[in-house]
């Protein structure tokens, strides 16, 4: 069986030879690395399905990202990504889980990222109603010690959203447009035998955050 180290070797070479000609010449290596990644995702889905049946309905091939960058919207990017990404479930209006592995950076994250206006409005309404619950989740040891709190939000408002008091008790949360957490992973953690355990542990620690956001997004 191909070891996960193969994924990193392939992605390192791709990063230094990022072109269609190189990829075409090394298509067999890409397919081998992809198959190894799909095997890992299959194991992750099986493990997470013990906690939520939605994961048992997802096929590994439907959970992984395409290796190609979207050059139509981001022409400045290289032809191919230098990482393998996976979103185990992309159910609408549900807090997400995202896994990315690559020689430059590997991590597991969760929450909601760049939501549509309607979705963001629902989350803000929830914060207005019971934002203290979200604050308690964010301040929990799980989120603070494991993820270091919520990730920085580059799109955070400098003032306050329309329709809310600037002195609102949860104004810092209301100013946010992204509610995400991230745990950086080392290459040894990804290639080790307990990678699935690490993903499961991170998933359970971010679950209260995802559950709050999912409930907020489900309200009409």
The confidence score (pLDDT) of residue 93 equals 63
The domain spans of the chain are 5-218
Does the structure show a pLDDT above 70 at 29? yes
pLDDT in tens, 3-22: 899 999 999 999 999 999 99
**CA angle at 192 for the pair 188 and 193, rounded to the nearest 5°:** 170
Rounded CA-CA distance 85/99 in Å is 6
pLDDT over 70 for what percent of the chain?
98
The confidence score (pLDDT) of residue 88 equals 87
Rounded CA-CA distance 66/81 in Å is 9
Does the structure show a pLDDT above 80 at 165? yes
Strands of the sheet with 179-185, listed across from one edge: 84-86, 96-101, 106-112, 179-185
Q: What is the CATH number of domain 5-218?
A: 3.30.930
Give the SS3 label for residue 181.
Answer: strand
The confidence score (pLDDT) of residue 2 equals 73
pLDDT in tens, 186-207: 999 999 999 999 999 999 999 9
- The model's pTM is 0.92
The confidence score (pLDDT) of residue 1 equals 58
Q: How buried is residue 32: exposed, middle or buried, by Cβ count under 10 Å (0-12/13-18/19+)?
A: middle
pLDDT in tens, 67-104: 999 988 888 999 999 999 999 876 666 778 999 999 99
Read off the pLDDT band of 216 (50, 70, 90): very high
Q: How buried is residue 20: exposed, middle or buried, by Cβ count under 10 Å (0-12/13-18/19+)?
A: exposed
The confidence score (pLDDT) of residue 140 equals 96
Q: How buried is residue 158: exposed, middle or buried, by Cβ count under 10 Å (0-12/13-18/19+)?
A: exposed
- Select from 180, 93, 178, 167 the least CA-distant residue to 128: 167
> What's the whole-number average pLDDT of the chain?
94
Residue 93 Cα to chain centre, angstroms: 15
């Amino acid at each position: 069986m191909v070891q996960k180290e193969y994924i990193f070797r392939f992605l390192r070479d791709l990063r230094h030879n990022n072109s269609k000609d190189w990829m075409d010449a090394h298509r067999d290596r890409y397919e081998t690395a992809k198959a190894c990644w799909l095997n890992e995702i299959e194991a992750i889905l099986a493990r997470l399905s013990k906690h939520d049946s939605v994961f048992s309905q997802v096929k590994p091939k439907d959970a992984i990202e395409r290796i190609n960058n979207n050059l139509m919207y981001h022409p400045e990017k290289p032809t191919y990504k230098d990482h393998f990404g996976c979103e185990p479930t992309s159910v609408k209006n549900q807090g997400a889980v995202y896994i990315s592995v690559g020689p430059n950076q590997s991590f597991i994250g969760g929450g909601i990222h760049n939501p549509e206006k309607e979705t963001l409005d629902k989350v803000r309404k929830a914060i207005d109603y019971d934002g203290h619950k979200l604050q308690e989740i964010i301040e929990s040891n799980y989120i603070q010690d494991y993820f270091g709190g919520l990730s920085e939000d580059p799109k955070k408002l400098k003032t306050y959203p329309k329709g809310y008091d600037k002195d609102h008790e949860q104004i810092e949360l209301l100013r946010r447009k992204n509610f995400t957490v991230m745990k950086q992973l080392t290459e040894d953690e990804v290639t080790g035998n307990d990678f699935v355990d690490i993903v499961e542990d991170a998933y359970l620690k971010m679950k209260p955050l995802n559950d709050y956001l999912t409930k907020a997004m489900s309200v009409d």
